[in-house]
Structure 1
């Protein structure tokens, strides 16, 4: 089957890509607005970019009518955000925070998510997240420029909080213990720990 994307509607292109480019990690992004009110929202268009400097990428889509999401407005206003990584046990709460609450409503409070203070940035982090990356804004650009459908947001990682039970006896991260929630196509979700996982050393 050949799919010509030039003939697809945007929603059709989204459906094909989001169902085939899987699994996708989920950035559960916490920010503060100009009045200091917390916001928390999930984004599955998310990835690491480079380790020098340590940088993450999130791509919040525009809302219907071209309106910017609160996350983008808050990051642009304050220049800080936290990317939290959710465990499977937090799936219901994460999904609840995707609801389009009115601006100024704290998803932490509305969805019963416990917040914890960050160390280097003002926005709080998710206390029970498997890991949280405190970031300062490195770049925020609309894409594509002539008719934006999203924003490319690069954040330089300042510090990370990692749950102690993910570490081995030497204090190193144990990949076999990192059980994260990820997004598949449609309404399908998955987790990073399952019986089919395997190791594969690179060729030398």
Structure 2
């Protein structure tokens, strides 16, 4: 996720727990654990200050840089520069996007939910963002305008230090659609 603070300084950090949870309105969600060494991650602090963030798809070609942005560097230092990533401007939010990412979603905060740890550990904040802008590199669109996931090679975190590249992909016939056609 990329953000800026109230002074306009960019921040970039990887987040494993994210998803699209609604298409109307388009809502993206990610969770932000509280680190043990400070009261809040820079991303959460920036989201609270600006009510904006950008989701940037992490891919096989960006995995080294993604890992670099997980380093706990001092607040206000630019992870884009630290990881050698070029910024690209967004249309509807102040935060920049990762220029090399095949897909970036500009988001405005819809809601933040704090989840207290039941055993007294650090809290978790779940951030819901309404997608207000989208950047898809044209090389990753098929003839129908659909995103070519296999070509993008998104990186997924499996747990701990284990990651995977989402390949090969496969398709399944949607049973609900088939049932709908035959019964209604």
Q: Which residue of 2 aligns with 1:128?
A: 100
Separation in structure 2 between the aligned mates of residue 108 and residue 83 of structure 1, nearest angstrom: 14
Separation in structure 2 between the aligned mates of residue 68 and residue 162 of structure 1, nearest angstrom: 31
Separation in structure 1 between the aligned mates of residue 57 and residue 147 of structure 2, nearest angstrom: 15
TM-score by length of 1: 0.80
| Residues 1:119 and 1:198: Cα distance change in structure 2 (over 3 Å) | same
Cα distance, 1:65 vs structure 2 = 5.2
SS of structure 2 residue aligned to 1:165: helix
Q: Which residue of 2 aligns with 1:93?
A: 65
Give a deviation string over 1:47-89, Cα, whole Å, max 9, x none.
Answer: 1111111001110100105611000010000111100001101
Cα distance, 1:43 vs structure 2 = 0.6
- Which of residues 158, 166, 189 in structure 1 aligns to 2:132? 158
Gaps of 5+ in 1: 1-28
Q: What is the alpha-carbon root mean square deviation over aligned residues?
A: 1.6
Structure 1 residue 184 and structure 2 residue 178: aligned? no
Work out the number of aligned pairs and report it: 174
| Residues 1:125 and 1:66: Cα distance change in structure 2 (over 3 Å) | same
Contact 2:150 2:166 in 1 (8 A): no
Consecutive aligned runs of 4 or more in structure 1 exceeding 6 Å deviation: none
Contact 1:59 1:151 in 2 (8 A): yes
Structure 1 residue 49 and structure 2 residue 21: aligned? yes
Q: Which residue of 2 aligns with 1:60?
A: 32
TM-score by length of 2: 0.88
- Which of residues 123, 126, 148 in structure 2 aligns to 1:174? 148
